[in-house]
Amino acid sequence: MIFRLDERLLFPDPALAEPDGLLAIGGDLQTERLLLAYQNGIFPWYSDDDPILWYSPHERFVLYPDELKVAKSMRQVLRSVRFKVTINKCFNEVIEACSAAERKGQDGTWITADMKTAYNQLHAAGHAHSVEVWEQDELVGGFYGVQINSVFCGESMFSRVSNASKTALIWLCNSGQYKLIDCQVHTEHLESMGARMISREEYMGMLGDKGL
């Protein structure tokens, strides 16, 4: 059953989501509603032509930082000091770059103008963060996401040169700030770095863990 949201600040039980994860439709992207969604394992994902769609997958594709696998070739890249990594230096530039990135099998982007505004507001409130990768003072990769306690809910990443987004992810794993990184969408290269599926129950347990 797909629920229709109104002006009230609430969501249905995420366990009631459809097999594809679709839980609800409608509502808004105000900071308070977005935070409530992420705290309950729910996130918005829709295109410009759709109403706001809220998803809560029954399984989550995640990466535990202590299970990170770094290939020998990537270790050489990291030792070369080719890239510099920063955090929250240019959130808006990162989200713009993510929205403009071409993605195989996708026509257009789900990062709509309203989504950009909403996540910039989340960033201003201290809940959304960006990781930036620089090469000779040029922004070449990075990602952004939402922090819920000790979980980083990754939203989107981009890479303009080889290994830039991997560098950002490795940096985040090694930062010691998070117990879990929610990768949302399965990719083979993230799986090769140690990401795996976990149950909704395990994921919700991690979301409520405030300690590091």
Same domain membership, residue 153 and residue 138? yes
Domain region containing 166:
61-207
pTM across the whole model: 0.92
Same domain membership, residue 139 and residue 50? no
Which CATH number do you get for residue 34? 3.30.70.3550
Same domain membership, residue 68 and residue 54? no
pLDDT at position 108 is 46
Same domain membership, residue 99 and residue 41? no
Give residue-wise pLDDT tens across range 74-126: 999 999 989 999 999 999 999 999 999 876 655 446 899 999 999 999 999 99
Mean pLDDT for the chain overall: 93
Same domain membership, residue 23 and residue 119? no
Give residue-wise pLDDT tens across range 11-63: 999 999 999 999 999 999 999 999 999 999 999 999 888 899 999 999 999 99
Residues in contact with 60: Cβ distance below 8 Å, sequence separation at least 6, in sequence order:
41, 182, 184, 197, 198, 199, 200, 203
Mean pLDDT value across residues 71-75: 93
Same domain membership, residue 97 and residue 185? yes
Same domain membership, residue 131 and residue 71? yes
Rounded-to-integer distance, Cα 13 and Cα 174, Å: 34
